[in-house]
Copies of this chain bind each other. A is one copy, B any other.
Amino acid sequence: MARLPVYLRALNSLLESEIRSCSSEELATAAGVNSAKLRKDLSHLGSYGTRGVGYDVEYLRYQISREIGLTQDWPVVIVGIGNLGHALANYSGFTSRGFRTVALLDADATRHGELVAGLKIRGFHELSAIVHEHGVAIGVIATPAAAAQSVCDEMVAAGIRSVLNFAPMVLSVPEGVDVRMVDLSSELQILAYHEQRKAPLHPEAAPTGTAGVA
């Protein structure tokens, strides 16, 4: 379920507010979903609530973490340390919660040895050794589109079975390998699509000095 991480985030945010218990209604609001949907999703994991009372925040948080697999260690390797790879290496969401970046690889030899987020950039040819040494199961591709498929092939050859792809390029992988694509420009396009349909409401969006009505 793609919504579990959202619930987890909502639970963490409740914990920060020292809230120990909550109803499906409250949690649903915090997560931005319908309460019936939330209850159905959670009931799929097991019966972790108490009728008439609600859910224990800490307990539910642990159960969802366990379901997702965050109670174990996930070594990650990032390939392509350009602007985006650099940002990912420093992104706290990547280093927390069981994910641990064990290596940063780049094809550009002039950058090898450079320190990013406390790790030295290493050569792409070291991929296989690193994957085996650390038991890496998840690879992140932040290279240009042209390099993405061959990087992906190498990852798969090294034994990686889960790939997070930021390159604007559809990757083909063998059966049993998962790829998730994060396409930054698609997201903008989807916004533009909706925005275009709203626009008629403000026929003179008059860029000069007036966003709305003049």
Report if A53 contacts B (CB, 8 A). no
A5 touches B131 (CB 8 A): no
* CB-contact partner of A211 in B132, B211, B212, under 8 A: B132
Q: How many residues of A contact B (CB 8 A)?
A: 79
Report if A46 contacts B (CB, 8 A). no
Report if A18 contacts B (CB, 8 A). no
Report if A10 contacts B (CB, 8 A). yes
Also in contact, A189 and B132, with CB within 8 A (given A9-B168, A83-B87, A159-B212): no
Also in contact, A5 and B210, with CB within 8 A (given A159-B205, A205-B159): no
Within 8 A of B (CB), among A160-178: 161-164, 168-170, 172, 176, 178
Within 8 A of B (CB), among A172-204: 172, 176, 178, 180, 182-196, 198-199
Report if A67 contacts B (CB, 8 A). yes
Report if A135 contacts B (CB, 8 A). yes
CA of A189 to CA of B5, assembled, Å:
7
**Residue ranges of A at the interface with B (Cβ–Cβ < 8 Å):** 1-2, 4-6, 8-10, 13, 30-32, 67-70, 72, 74-76, 82-84, 86-88, 90-91, 93-94, 96-99, 131-135, 137-138, 158-159, 161-164, 168-170, 172, 176, 178, 180, 182-196, 198-199, 205-212
Q: Which 4 pairs across A and B sit closest by C-beta, in order of nearness?
A: A135-B211, A135-B207, A93-B185, A69-B196
